[in-house]
Amino acid sequence: LVDYESLIQNDATEQVSDMDVYNMMTGLDSTYFTSGTDYRYSNTGYALLAMIVEEKSGFTFAEFLEENIFLPLGMNNSVAHQNGISTVSNRAYGYSHNGNGFRRDDQSLTSAVLGDGGIYTSLNNMFHWDQSLYTDTLVPFEILSEAFTSGELSNGEKIGYGFGWRVDSYFYRDRVHHTGSTRGFRNVLMRFPNQHISILILTNRNSGSPINIAEKIADYLFNA
């Protein structure tokens, strides 16, 4: 699927929603490549998945996350942010470097799309979620196993991506991880499930490389 961010008009001023992403896609008659022949990360795919969740559950995506993930895990400081609906107190704001220092750079035209982002949380809450992935509290183990297994192309080539996780190895240890960024934020969660080790880097600036920091921490832990 074409990445919706590339379809936003240069003079656009209103934030895009998941429904807007869907409407953008309905006007297209082509994709980057034929399904099964290649792999490309897709923000669009996540926005459409959120809409499928809404259709099947009868909840908004934000409500579904609240009822099925945040509340069961005691993630009391987590929310799928909706401007004018949800309030996030004492949160960190994003900043970008402008040459003379940092300026607040917190929201973008895509910040209202919840399928691929828009989650506000804390280190402690992320720990609760991370630990739940060792159990079947949220989803059955067989589905978790699929999430942490690389998908394949039609020719059998592995793509190194599961259900929302990059899947590979690091210093001969199985690793699942993902980065995330928007405006003045850069983040990464790196997990080594067999060692029960997780490295989470959350930043509110648009510079630096959290994944490099995470790998340096892993190097230290594994005495590389």
CA distances from 33 to 1, 40, 47, 159 (A): 8, 9, 19, 15
Mean pLDDT of 91-118: 91
User: According to the model, what pLDDT value does residue 33 have?
Assistant: 96
The average confidence (pLDDT) of the chain is 94
- Here the tokens at position 66 are 């609240």
pLDDT at 17: 94
What is d(CA 113, CA 103) in angstroms, rounded to the nearest whole number? 23
pLDDT in tens, 163-189: 999 999 999 999 999 999 998 999 999
Which one-letter amino acid corresponds to residue 139?
A: V
Residue 131 has pLDDT above 80, yes or no: yes
| Token reading at 20 | 């807007």
What pLDDT is attached to residue 180? 94
How many other C-beta atoms can be found within 10 angstroms of the C-beta atom of residue 76? 12
Q: What is the pLDDT of residue 224?
A: 67
99 falls in which pLDDT band (50, 70, 90)?
confident
Paired with 199 in beta bridges are 190
The two three-digit tokens of residue 154, written as one number: 């039609």
pLDDT tens-place string over residues 186-221: 999 999 999 999 999 999 999 899 999 999 999 999
The four Cα atoms 155, 160, 165, 167 give a dihedral, to 10 degrees, of: 130
Work out the angle between the directed axes of helices 18-26 and 43-57 (0-180°, nearest 10). 110
Q: Quote the pTM value.
A: 0.92
Give the per-residue pLDDT at 85. 84
Q: How many domains does the chain have?
A: 1
Expressed as residue numbers, the domain containing 152 is: 4-221
**Residue 192: beta bridge partners?**
197
In the predicted structure, residue 47 carries a pLDDT above the cut 90: yes
Domain containing residue 190: CATH number: 3.40.710.10
Per-residue pLDDT for 27 more than 80?
yes
